[in-house]
Structure formats: C-alpha cells, structure tokens
Amino acid sequence: MTDLTNTDTQSSTTAQSNFIIRTFPVGPLQCNCSVIGDRLSGRALVVDPGGDADKILALLKELNLKVVAIIHTHAHLDHILAAGEIKNATGAPIYLHKGDQFLWDMVEEQCALFGVPTVSLPEPDHYITDDQSFDCCGAVAIHTPGHTPGSVSFWFDEYKTLIAGDTLFQGSIGRTDLPGGNFDEIKQSISQRLYTLHDDAVVITGHGASTTIGTEKQNNSFVRG
C-alpha cells in the first residue's frame, strides 16, 4: 500500500498534512484503488473500487474516514467490481461518466469474458461532467476519453496530484483496442488536458507504479509533451 500523504517534508502546509492518499491494488486484475481523505473533516472519496471491498472498508475504518462519494475513472470491470459493496456499506453515492454507462451495464458480460465471479451493480447515482468539482479535498474531474468514451481523470490542484485511471501510465498509455477505445482521442486527452498540469504533479495510474507529468512529457513513448 502506497501512502502519498505529504507529511514529512519541511514544505508541508497544514492543509497538506491533513491530506491523505492511500493507493493499493485490488481485485483480480490488481487495479489501483485510492482512498482520498481529509483528516480534519473526516470526509473521503473512494476511487475505482475494483474488488476487495473488505480491504477498502478496513482502511476507511482505520483512518476514521466517512465516504462521501465513490468515483470511477471508467467502467471496465477491474475498476468497478466492489462499487456496490462499498455503497451498501457506507451509503455513499456512485459517480460515473455517462459515456461509460454501456460498459457499466455490461458488467456481467465483462465478468464472464475475464472468468471472474459475476457481480450485479446498482445504477450510478450521478453522472460525472467535465470540470465537475467534488466537495472533498478539492477534487475536479477532467474528461479524458480514449481508453473508453467516459474515461475521467481526477485532479487535486492544491496537492499537485492526478488520478489518471487507465489513460496515462508510466511510459505508456491505456489500451484503445477495446470497445469504445480511440487512439486519437487518448493522445489528445493526454496532450491537451493532462500535460497542461504541473510538471511535478504526481500521477497515480490505474495499474502499476506512479509517475509525474514532467517525466511522461519527456519520456512517454506514445505521447511527448
């Protein structure tokens, strides 16, 4: 489990010391799920609960955080499998971009395709819109289509942190050969939306290691800044 909370540097502000990000792999495909919270208010977001609901809920209890929203970067099964369980346990609403509703509706088919136990999910409570703000830790949604039509990244400006889902990876980008994928769109999303962020911003990817915007602008083999 990765704790990206900036509490140990001399430059930490009071706000930063209250900011919590815990990112850890969950589910059969080891999607990076993130719990993002504020120690002062006790409010939290759960991003991409792709499985292991018990692990997610245990961490929330450990950190004494109340979930106010369950938000998704996209609706491939490995990012959504535990959404219903987290909602049932916490009462928090589910957020998804409308462009990925068709994938959400196909979760049972997705499970069958990948050979994982079938789940049924409740309908999303709200649709995410581009530049939408969330009332927790200053989160703002950035619509970044390409991997899927409704792919969304979440930006935390005060903390220079981006959750990119499967749009941007360390040295790579998300697949575009799955239903709804579009190579030109993902390149545009990265170059015109994500690469305009701070070079030193931390990028939490959908799978694997984190990176920074500056590193990807210089070294990404698919999209250079």
Band of residue 1 on the pLDDT scale cut at 50, 70, 90 = low
For residue 79, give Cα distances in angstroms to 27, 175, 190: 8, 15, 20
Exposure on the CB side of residue 2, measured as CA atoms within 13 A: 17
Residue 89 identity: A
What residues are paired with 67 via a beta bridge? 44
> What are the tens digits of pLDDT across the range 71-88?
999 999 999 999 999 999
> What are the tens digits of pLDDT across the range 96-126?
999 999 999 999 999 999 999 999 999 999 9
pLDDT above 80 (res 2): no
Strands (E), 4-53: 19-26, 31-38, 43-47
Query: Which structure tokens are listed for 98?
Result: 């409308």
Which pLDDT belongs to residue 25? Answer: 98
Question: Nearest 10 degrees: CA dihedral of 34, 38, 43, 47?
Answer: -10
pLDDT above 90 (res 212): yes
pLDDT above 90 (res 70): yes
- Output the pTM of the full model: 0.93
Mean pLDDT for 29-40 is: 97
Band of residue 15 on the pLDDT scale cut at 50, 70, 90 = low
pLDDT above 80 (res 10): no
pLDDT above 90 (res 12): no
The Cα–Cα gap between 153 and 131 comes to: 10
pLDDT above 70 (res 49): yes
